[in-house]
Amino acid sequence: MLNILAIDHLVLRVVNLDAMLAFYTDVLSCTLVRCEEEQGLWQLRAGSGLIDLVPCDKPLGKAGGDVPDGQRRNMDHFCLRIEPFDEAGLRIHLRNFGIEASPTAPRYGAEGRGLSLYIADPEGNVIELKGPPQA
């Protein structure tokens, strides 16, 4: 039997690596921890997990088929657990980068129900930003 503790990593096939790196490092404060340019792998630390960016024109990205676009995506969304969940401060931070967020609502996740909102990265991948569970 497996005992899953957290999301380890997710992989996004990307078209514009520079825009995606800027979004995940500047907006979401992830840090670049590993890069294998020849294979096409940029790994970003996101809390205890990783977000891997693989350009579609590099070996790892080519293995995934057609380039993702508005009609072809590789996932619905992924969720990043954040704390604290300061809605006003978060919205100001996102607006400073020209990013609009969905309405905030309580949603169920790995730790239970907590407030969250949705945003999109430069290539349309949907990201849920989720706060701590509510009592």
* Domain range annotation of the chain: 9-130
pLDDT at 1: 56
Q: Which two tokens stand for residue 19?
A: 């825009």
Which residues are CB-contacts of 124 (< 8 A; sequence separation ≥ 6)?
A: 68, 69, 70, 73
**pLDDT value, residue 30:** 96
pLDDT < 70 positions in the chain: 1-2, 4, 70, 73, 76
Q: What is the model's pLDDT at position 6?
A: 79
Q: Report the side by side order of strands in the sheet with 112-120.
A: 77-81, 126-130, 112-120, 105-109
Closest CA to 74 of 6, 14, 25: 14
* Candidate CATH numbers 3.20.20.70, 3.10.180.10, 3.40.50.300, 3.40.190.10; the one for domain 9-130: 3.10.180.10
Q: Are strands 112-120 and 49-55 parallel, antiparallel or unpaired?
A: unpaired
